[in-house]
Amino acid sequence: MAYSDSASLAAENLSDLFIKVINRFGELDKLPFIAGDGEMLHTSEIHAMDIIGFNKNINITHLANLLGLTKGAVSIMMGKLVKKSYVIKNISPETDNEVVLKLTEKGGEVFDWHQQHRCRLKQKIEELITEAPQANEYYTKLCIELDKVFVDLIEERKT
């Protein structure tokens, strides 16, 4: 492919690198986590438990919104996590016709592990940012704008 200028070449290289990073993240996201009790958990289940851990008495609708999933998908996932004894369902303290979610002790252990994992990832990102602090604002803006581009692409494909 012929490039009209160095900016076009840089954009192509950045695009290729970004796709590579997304693919690596996707690969990591597909790998199951083996909990301390030997139970296999999917990344989506761990992220759901993370949100439940931070949001006391969260209901399925709110959890679905935060995860970006349908209520039906989250309901199925919660059924599996209840069966595996990571989550319990209770009647809401505010209204009798709503179910809220809470982590069990087992779920709390996964939550704690995930917080340690996030802390390690955050430390690695902080190290990168420290190497080029002036670039942090630029890369934050770039990610926000790329997110908008991907939202637009998703909408285009849906129509």
**Residue ranges per domain, the chain?**
10-158
Say if residue 131's pLDDT is above 80.
Answer: no
110: Cβ–Cβ under 8 A, 6 or more apart, which residues? 33, 35, 41, 46, 49, 86, 103
**What digits encode the pLDDT tens for the residues 97-117?**
899 999 999 999 999 999 998
**What digits encode the pLDDT tens for the residues 56-104?**
999 999 999 999 899 999 999 999 999 999 999 999 988 888 999 999 9
CB burial readout 129-144, b (16+ within 10 A) else e? eeeeeeeeeeeeeeee
Burial class (CB in 10 A: 0-12, 13-18, 19+), 81: buried
DSSP, residue by residue, 22-42? HHHHHHHHHS-EE-TTS-EE-
**What digits encode the pLDDT tens for the residues 14-44?**
888 888 988 888 888 888 888 888 899 999 9
Q: What is the pTM of this model?
A: 0.71
| The 3-state secondary structure of 53-74, one letter per residue | HHCCCEEHHHHHHHHCCCHHHH
> Tell me, what's the pLDDT at 111?
95
Q: Is 101 helix (H, G, I), strand (E, B) or coil?
A: strand
Read off φ and ψ for residue 131, nearest 5 degrees.
-65, -25
Looking at domain 10-158, does it have CATH number 1.10.10.10? Answer: yes
